[in-house]
Amino acid sequence: MAVRDIVTYPDPRLREETFEVKEITDEIRELVTDLRDTMYSLNAAGIAAIQIGRLERIFLIDGKVAGGDDNADPLVFINPEVVETGKGMIVGEEGCLSFPDVFIDVRRPRWAKVRATNLAGETFECEGEELLGRALQHEHDHLTGRLMIDLVGMIKKNVIQRKMKRWHAEHDKENEAKNATPTAAEVV
């Protein structure tokens, strides 16, 4: 229904505790629609509710990333839990909507299996290697307050923090200019 603003690092909302969805209501379905619209508007592989400032334990993975074709619906994970990871470790580049223009190598298990509920209220399991395995772990991490900056060493942390400081400085100026109230001279 709407494309939402993304909560960006170092916003403390990204570290808040998320809560279990007790019932799949129209409000939850609307939230999932907003997540889908936001994810696709930003050409992302996945998105977690906390990234738009919501604390429900929900994330989406793009249908194509999950092994479908270009028109596949996104997979919806409600109250997901990582059941198992394994098949060795692999280093791969990750990006994140909450860290715009930041791409870093992150070491994770090659494979992951997640159990969740879908929008129909049915329990399902999804497992994947490589990109899907990485996406499942990355989005689940958001629901626990864990961010990709937590998975790198001190030097990379400092680089990311500097990049985000620059990004905020640039975008805060743009937003101020957009939201500025016109002066009387500008109105005339």
Task: From first to last of the 188 residues of the chain, give the pLDDT tens digit.
Answer: 689 999 999 999 999 999 999 999 999 999 999 999 999 999 999 999 999 999 999 999 999 988 888 889 999 999 999 999 998 999 999 999 999 999 999 999 999 999 999 999 999 999 999 899 999 999 999 999 999 999 999 999 999 999 999 999 988 766 666 565 555 555 44
Report pLDDT for 175.
61
Residue 4 lies in a domain: no
Report pLDDT for 94.
94
Report pLDDT for 67.
85
Q: Which domain holds residue 170?
A: 12-179
**Residue position matching structure tokens 């159990």:** 115
CATH of the domain at 137: 3.90.45.10
Asked if 93 is an active-site residue, the reply is: no
* Total structural domains within the chain: 1
Report pLDDT for 66.
87
Residue tagged active-site, from 139, 170, 176, 186:
139
Residue 6 lies in a domain: no
pTM (2 d.p.): 0.89
Backbone angles phi and psi of 79, in degrees to 5: 55, 50
Distance CA 175, CA 188 (A): 23
Residue 5 lies in a domain: no
